[in-house]
């Protein structure tokens, strides 16, 4: 090969490499001409990184929902088209949200799991007066100081998670006069959760024996486990997220620790990954595949048929959010965000596959619905890789107001920026 | 914090460093001989872990422990023959781009075959339990892991120091032109080194699969600290990598132990910065003329 050939090939490779790096930030999706017979919905969720596995469930569920909506006649007689992107991180999420709204003219954006990305997407959505439905960002701040009129939350807020599982801890006598040891993911979600958890603990007479902040890239928990064993807590509380929960549970079993474990943040996929014998403790969850209602059974059936595995809780969020939007647009015969928002704020009811319908609370746009506390089954009782926990009944119970687990106005108040 | 706990943290930190060592040694070897900055090294770690899940239902964890690193090493040879070979001693930026792409291809392939959600895998029953020495209690599995890792690192050292193979490899690192002038072709040695280095990454995958979440991007989690270890230790230095790996584990463990866990990752980068300020080639770095 001559030097000249080599030079051009090298130049070509360098250029291609440069392009690859640039396109990672702004992957071009095909520019389509606007057409009146299609309604587009933007779906943004992390598909890479530590929240990626959950994002994958979100995408599968949104696809399934759109398929069902189209089979039932679409929205206002028009076909629904789902534009899907990996939100990656807060900066990229806002860029992609901007493009979906301005160029692709989506009717609304659904998705996201990271609270930090939710915030940047909500800012773009508000600026462009486009509805954004958050299906996975938990932070209370998103429903409080960072709330936005154009953002609604199908995902429960941290307060709801804490109060749901907190009831179980109270019943088991693990709160009053007890020492908790907590591990908290060192980012917006974790900090918010720890704040809410401390409020709950102090309000009910418990105290923290120690609370370590864990960098989000930590995979080895041995150093933390040694500290936990040394402090002999009454309860170990996990405010971690994503694969970190799985890593922690596997290593907790490895080190043979037997203190009761619980957590305020949870996703069933992480319990499944920890597996039989490693998964322990009591955890709050927004929904799970064993809920015994006709709606949930139909959803689990359709999802399992399409993907050969049961849906996990993140799948429920994106499925329900897409269905809610379709129902609202069909009822209103309009896809305009301000009209949908007014409809939600007036307390429209939606079937959430649970025992009673839910509605968005006008004061902070949080979906009011039932939650569940799940408890790991002893290894001997586990029959398959999915059904590894037992569930509480719906929380709040049948005779209680849905609002009792949510943050009160005093705990977290929202004044929508005008 | 009690003295015993601090001692436990120090020991645990050192043990922790051994996992980085398995990855970092291969990285360092492949870089020093061929000048390939192997960003795909973490992907081989992930492949090793997934192969464990595939093999162990048939041959048990023991079978996977032998077969999986061998399979990953063979894959390494194929990649070396087809791809790495074209980039030896050329601009490192090219191999960087190549292996970056390779890492993405591997991750996506794992995602397509096994799905994005993490898969479950547990420590085999016979390796569970705790070792108790006085007041010191430690996971039995980690003791086994440490034993295997130490044996491999010692074996590699013997191979590089005591054999004819090792002499050629070391000469190749120092002065490849002279080795060529002596009539020795470095090509088969390159393949062998790639197999060894990548096989070690595969072995780390097998050893960590029972205690880490097994998911397609797991390689990314381990590659950054491994690079830091190689940089701190110094390119081309066996003992540099060993000392740096233990140091990184130690710093991380002690930061958590004394209550500065939030800064435990930052501390490693600070350590790297300090080392580079005083020793730009790393702790035991040797001068590699063709990159300067």
Closest alpha carbon within chain A to B256:
A223
d(CA A265, CA A284): 7
Instruction: State yes or no: pLDDT of A207 exceeds 80.
Output: yes
For B3-278, the fitting CATH number among 3.40.50, 1.10.760, 1.20.120, 1.10.3470 is 1.10.3470
Give the model's pLDDT for residue B7: 85
Chain A residues with CB-CB distance to B119 below 8 A: 273
List of long-range contacts for B125-130, beta carbons under 8 Å, 24+ apart: B127/B61, B127/B210, B128/A254, B128/A256, B129/A256, B130/A255, B130/A256
User: What's the complex ipTM?
Assistant: 0.92
Nearest CB to A226; choose among B12, B19, B221: B12
Chain A residues with CB-CB distance to B90 below 8 A: 10
Interface mutation vs chain A, best among B103, B251, B256, B266, most A CBs within 10 Å: B256
Residue B287's pLDDT band (cuts 50, 70, 90)? low
Strand-pair category, A131-134 with A108-111:
parallel
Instruction: State yes or no: pLDDT of B209 exceeds 80.
Output: yes
Q: CATH 3.40.50.2300 spans which residues of chain A?
A: 3-157+292-368, 159-287+371-405
What DSSP designation does B138 have?
E
Give the model's pLDDT for residue B173: 83
According to CATH, the superfamily of the domain at A3-157+292-368 is Response regulator (3.40.50.2300)
Structure-token match 């096989």, residue found: B199
According to CATH, the superfamily of the domain at A159-287+371-405 is Response regulator (3.40.50.2300)
Convert chain A into a string of H (helix), E (strand) and C (coil).
CCHHHHHHHHHHHHHHHHHHHHHHHCCCCCCCCCCCCEEEEEEEECCCCCCHHHHHHHHHHHHHHHHHHHHCCCECCEEEEEEEEECCCHHHHHHHHHHHHHCCCCCEEEECCCHHHHHHHHHHHHHCCCEEEECCCCCHHHHCCCCCCCEEECCCCHHHHHHHHHHHHHHCCCCCCCEEEEEEECCHHHHHHHHHHHHHHHHCCCEEEEEEEECCCCCCCHHHHHHHHHHCCCEEEEECCCHHHHHHHHHHHHCCCCCCEEECCCCHHHHHHHCCCCCCCEEEECCCCCCCCHHHHHHHHHHHHHHCCCCCHHHHHHHHHHHHHHHHHHHHCCCCHHHHHHHHHCCCCECCCCCCCEEECCCCCEEECCEEEEEECCHHHCCCCCCCEEECCCECCCCCCHHHHCCCCCCCCCCCCC
d(CA B209, CA B52): 7
Interface mutation vs chain A, best among B94, B213, B216, B219, most A CBs within 10 Å: B213
Which residues lie across from A108 on neighbouring strands? A41, A131
Contact criterion met (CB < 8 Å) for A253 and B122: yes
Chain B residues with CB-CB distance to A212 below 8 A: 256, 259, 261-262
| Distance, C-alpha A253 to centroid of its chain | 26
Q: What percent of chain B has pLDDT over 70?
A: 97
What is the value of pTM for the model shown?
0.88
Reported as a single tens digit per residue, the pLDDT across A124-155 is 999 999 999 999 999 999 999 999 999 999 99
| Cβ-count burial A352-368 (b if 16+ within 10 Å, e if not) | bbbeeebbbbebbbbbb
Contact criterion met (CB < 8 Å) for A218 and B264: yes
Query: Which of A37 and A124 is assigned the larger pLDDT?
Result: A124
Chain A residues with CB-CB distance to B15 below 8 A: 222
Q: What percent of chain A has pLDDT over 90?
A: 81
Chain A residues with CB-CB distance to B116 below 8 A: 47, 52-53, 55-56
| Cβ-count burial A16-54 (b if 16+ within 10 Å, e if not) | ebeeeeeeeeeeeeeeeeeeeeebbbbbbbbbbbbbbbb
Query: Mean pLDDT score of chain B, rounded to an integer?
Result: 91
If you average pLDDT over residues A198-227, what whole number do you get? 91
Residue B110 · residue B216 · CB < 8 Å: yes
Closest alpha carbon within chain B to A222:
B12
Reported as a single tens digit per residue, the pLDDT across B134-189 is 878 899 999 999 999 999 999 999 999 999 999 999 888 888 888 889 999 889 99
Query: Which of A13 and B225 is assigned the larger pLDDT?
Result: B225
């Amino acid at each position: 090969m001559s030097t000249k050939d080599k030079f051009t090939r090298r130049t070509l490779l360098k250029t291609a490499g440069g392009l690859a790096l640039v396109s990672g930030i702004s992957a071009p999706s095909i520019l389509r001409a606007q057409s009146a017979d299609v309604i587009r919905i933007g779906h943004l969720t992390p598909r890479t990184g530590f929240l990626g596995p959950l994002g994958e469930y979100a995408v599968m569920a949104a696809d399934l929902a759109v398929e069902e909506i189209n089979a039932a006649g679409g929205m206002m007689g028009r076909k629904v088209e789902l534009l899907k992107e990996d939100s990656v991180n807060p900066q990229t999420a806002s860029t992609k949200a901007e493009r979906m709204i301005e160029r692709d003219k989506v009717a609304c954006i659904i998705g996201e799991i990271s609270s930090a990305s939710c915030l940047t997407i909500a800012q773009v959505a508000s600026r462009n007066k486009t509805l954004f439905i958050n299906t996975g960002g938990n932070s209370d701040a998103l429903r409080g100081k960072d709330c936005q009129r154009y953002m609604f939350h199908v995902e429960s807020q941290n307060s709801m998670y804490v109060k749901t599982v907190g009831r179980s801890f109270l019943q088991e006598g693990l709160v009053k006069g007890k020492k908790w040891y907590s591990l908290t993911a060192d980012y917006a979600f974790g900090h918010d959760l720890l704040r809410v958890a401390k409020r709950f603990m102090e309000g009910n007479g418990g105290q923290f024996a120690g609370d370590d902040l864990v960098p989000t890239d930590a995979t080895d928990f041995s150093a933390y486990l040694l500290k936990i064993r040394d402090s002999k807590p009454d309860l170990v509380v996990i405010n971690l997220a994503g694969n970190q929960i799985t890593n922690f549970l596997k290593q907790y079993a490895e080190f043979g620790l037997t203190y009761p474990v619980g957590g305020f943040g949870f996703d069933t996929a992480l319990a499944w990954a920890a597996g039989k014998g490693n998964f322990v403790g009591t955890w709050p969850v927004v929904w799970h595949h064993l809920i015994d209602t006709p709606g949930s059974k139909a959803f689990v059936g359709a999802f399992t048929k399409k993907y050969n595995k049961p849906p996990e809780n993140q799948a429920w969020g994106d499925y329900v959010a897409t269905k809610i939007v379709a129902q609202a647009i069909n009822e209103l015969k309009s896809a305009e965000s301000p009209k949908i928002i007014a409809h939600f704020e007036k307390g429209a009811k939606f079937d959430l596959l649970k025992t009673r319908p839910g509605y968005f609370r006008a004061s902070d746009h949080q979906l009011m619905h039932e939650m569940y506390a799940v408890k790991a089954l002893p290894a001997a009782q586990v029959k398959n890789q999915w059904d590894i926990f037992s569930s509480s009944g719906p929380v709040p119970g049948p005779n209680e107001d849905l609002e009792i687990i949510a943050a009160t106005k005093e705990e977290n108040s929202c004044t929508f920026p005008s | 914090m009690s003295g015993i706990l601090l001692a436990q943290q120090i020991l645990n930190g050192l043990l922790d460093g051994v996992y980085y060592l398995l990855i970092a040694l291969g990285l360092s070897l492949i870089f020093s001989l061929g000048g390939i900055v192997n960003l795909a090294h973490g992907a081989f770690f992930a492949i090793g872990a997934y192969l464990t899940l595939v093999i162990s239902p048939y041959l048990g964890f023991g079978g996977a422990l032998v077969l999986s690193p061998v399979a990953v090493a063979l894959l390494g040879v194929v990649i070396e023959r087809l791809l790495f070979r074209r980039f030896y001693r050329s601009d490192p930026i090219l191999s960087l781009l190549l292996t970056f792409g390779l890492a993405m291809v591997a991750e996506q392939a794992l995602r397509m075959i096994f799905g994005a959600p993490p898969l479950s895998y547990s420590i085999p029953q016979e390796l569970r339990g705790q070792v108790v020495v006085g007041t010191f209690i430690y996971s039995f599995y980690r003791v086994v892991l440490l034993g295997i890792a130490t044996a491999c690192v010692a074996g590699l050292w013997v191979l590089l120091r005591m054999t004819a193979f090792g002499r050629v490899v070391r000469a190749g690192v120092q002065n490849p032109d002279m080795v060529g002038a002596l009539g020795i072709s470095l090509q088969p040695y390159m393949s062998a080194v790639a197999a060894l280095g990548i096989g070690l990454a595969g072995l780390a995958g097998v050893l960590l699969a029972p205690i880490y979440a097994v998911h397609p991007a797991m390689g990314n989690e381990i590659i950054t600290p491994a690079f830091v270890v190689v940089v701190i230790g110094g390119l081309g230095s066996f003992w540099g990598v060993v000392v740096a790996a233990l140091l990184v584990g130690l710093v991380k463990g002690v930061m958590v132990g004394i209550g500065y866990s939030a800064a435990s990752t930052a501390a490693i980068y600070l350590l790297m910065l300090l080392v580079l300020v005083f020793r730009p080639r790393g702790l035991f770095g040797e001068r590699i003329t063709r990159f300067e």
